[in-house]
Amino acid sequence: MKITKKTLSDNVTLFTISNGWMSFSSMNYGCTVTNLFVPDKNGNPTDIVLGFKDLEGYKNGKGSLGAIVGRFANRISNASFTLDGKTYQLDKNDGENSLHGGFTRLEKQVWNATTFEEEHRAGVIFERTTTEDEQKYPGNLTIKVSYILNDQNQLFWNYTATTDKATPVNLTNHSYFNLAGKGSVFNHELTLDYNKILEVSENLIPTGNILSAEGTAFDFSKKKSIGQDIDQISKKIGGYDHCFLTKAYETGKLESVGTVSEPSTGISMHIKTNLPGIQIYSGNWLEGTGKGDVTYNHHDGICFETQDFPDAPNHPSFPNCILRPGETYDAQTILEFKNS
């Protein structure tokens, strides 16, 4: 295991962790994963996450490329919720709704960072306290984000948090993956282990209903390309941007979610999580200029955002998303990489 550091500005450092087969880089600006190199079936290192070419790109860019999002990832309807008899009004930054924490984003903040190196794993740990004034959520939330690589080619994304007042919490990483390194993700093949989704409105707000995906465009119970049925989804939505349930919805434990692979490179990524949902977003409105001055087009990346259910504070029937003083939020995701 090897750790290297690069200074990007007075208070921003880029950390690279390598196990000799694969590597990732992340910086303490937004806990952002900037690069993830995995060798393809011919041994050629392939950067499989989208990003910007420099720090200024991340500061000015949109789309949360590679970054942590929260305090509540995804959408909260009408940008409000009621907790313990009090109603909280959030930022309306997605029409009438609040998305990924509103206007003051965790991804645009500088975090404290420390690294560790052990015999079989190494990583970087980011820490920060977000106050109740930042995003209008109740309480001061102390967050720890850990990105860890081991010698089994597993990348761990772990999030823990504590609070001094009851608050909704839902943290996730918003990396856009492209296992071919560039171009459309329509040829990526996906298999999911749990065949249910949340029903949503045209504005992507859950209705509260859980639906079987069998026989629909959302059915990935057998290996299927991302592009095969994407045109069946509303043009207003533009593609996949839906919360698929995981086995952890039933067990509350770390469970297999599924596998995504890319035939031309042979790179595959197997996902595990202890969270009840995974928002799969097919980069429907992706645009801009990225690393290597590449122009990103719609569907050039796909996100696999393990998380609690969107709008959970407004749906008592959804899994609990409220963290209270004395409790610890504990979200775990494991990405395992192979090539063949």
Tell me, yes or no, if 315 is annotated catalytic: no
- Residue 107's pLDDT is what? 96
Residue in 107, 255, 262, 305 annotated catalytic: 305
Structure tokens at 286: 């992706």
pLDDT tens sequence across 231-250: 999 888 999 999 999 999 99
DSSP 320: P
Q: Which residue has the tokens 């509350």?
A: 252
At residue 147's C-alpha, the angle toward residues 221 and 307, to 5°, is 40
The pLDDT of residue 178 is 98
Helix then strand then coil, in percent of the chain rounded to 5, is 10, 45, 45
Residue-level pLDDT at 134: 95
Q: What token pair was written down for 135?
A: 């995003």
From residue 25, alpha-carbon distances to 113, 188, 288 in Å are 13, 23, 21
Beta strands 45-47; 288-289: pairing state:
unpaired
Give the position of tokens 């890319």.
Answer: 262
What is the structure's pLDDT at 261?
A: 98
22-32 per-position pLDDT tens digit: 999 999 999 99
Place of tokens 């989208």: 50
Mark out the alpha helices in the chain (DSSP H runs): 55-60, 132-135, 248-251
Residue 168: predicted pLDDT: 98
pLDDT (tens digit per residue) in 149-169: 999 999 999 999 999 999 999
- pLDDT value of residue 45: 98
Exposure on the CB side of residue 18, measured as CA atoms within 13 A: 12
List Cβ neighbours of 271 (8 Å cut-off, separation of 6 or more). Answer: 256, 257, 258, 259, 260, 278, 304, 306, 333, 334, 335
Task: Say which of 100, 107, 134, 174 is annotated catalytic.
Answer: 174
Name the stretches of the chain with pLDDT < 70.
none
Over the stretch 79-124, which tens digit does the pLDDT of each residue have?
999 999 999 999 999 999 999 999 999 999 999 999 999 999 999 9
Integer Cα distance of 328 and 98 in angstroms? 24
Q: What letter does residue 102 receive in the DSSP assignment?
A: S
Q: Counting beta carbons within 10 angstroms of the beta carbon of residue 133, is it exposed (0 to 12), middle (13 to 18) or buried (19 or more)?
A: exposed
174 is catalytic: yes
